[in-house]
Structure 1
Amino acid sequence: MAKVTERRIVTQEWYETEYSKTGWDSHGWVFDDGRIIGTTWTVVEHIHSDKFGNPFIGVAEREADV
């Protein structure tokens, strides 16, 4: 059985809150279809951040058997 590295673009929406340390909070990384990336995926690169330094577009990857 061979292993391949699967890579997908993920997004994260940030919102202002009075309860977090930085004043900003997020619901976490999601795929474009709205699914949360889960524990098998790892965000390996931040492609774009907002003006406050919050990353909102990234690359997630995982190893899969084929």
Structure 2
Amino acid sequence: MKPGQKHTSGGDPLPSAPELPVHGWSTDETLARLEALRRDDVRWKDGRVFSLAYFATPEAHDLATEAYRR
């Protein structure tokens, strides 16, 4: 890994950006990159991660999501 790079959950390095680029990504590019990162997410709802985070119930998840939005 090169200096200034971070690992994703899949182990592929992401370039770090110390400053904002002059031209940003389009909406389509942003969503495509987010989708690519999502595919590498740990399946925590299926109990695939050892952590203090767990999927209690769909209702608890909905409540946490709504609380985060506010």
Q: With structure 2 as the length reference, what TM-score do the two structures score? A: 0.18
Structure with bigger gyration radius: 2
Tell me which protein shows more strand as a share of its residues. Answer: 1
Higher relative contact order at CA 8 Å, sep ≥6: structure 1 or structure 2? Answer: 1
Q: With structure 1 as the length reference, what TM-score do the two structures score? A: 0.18
Tell me which protein shows more helix as a share of its residues. Answer: 2
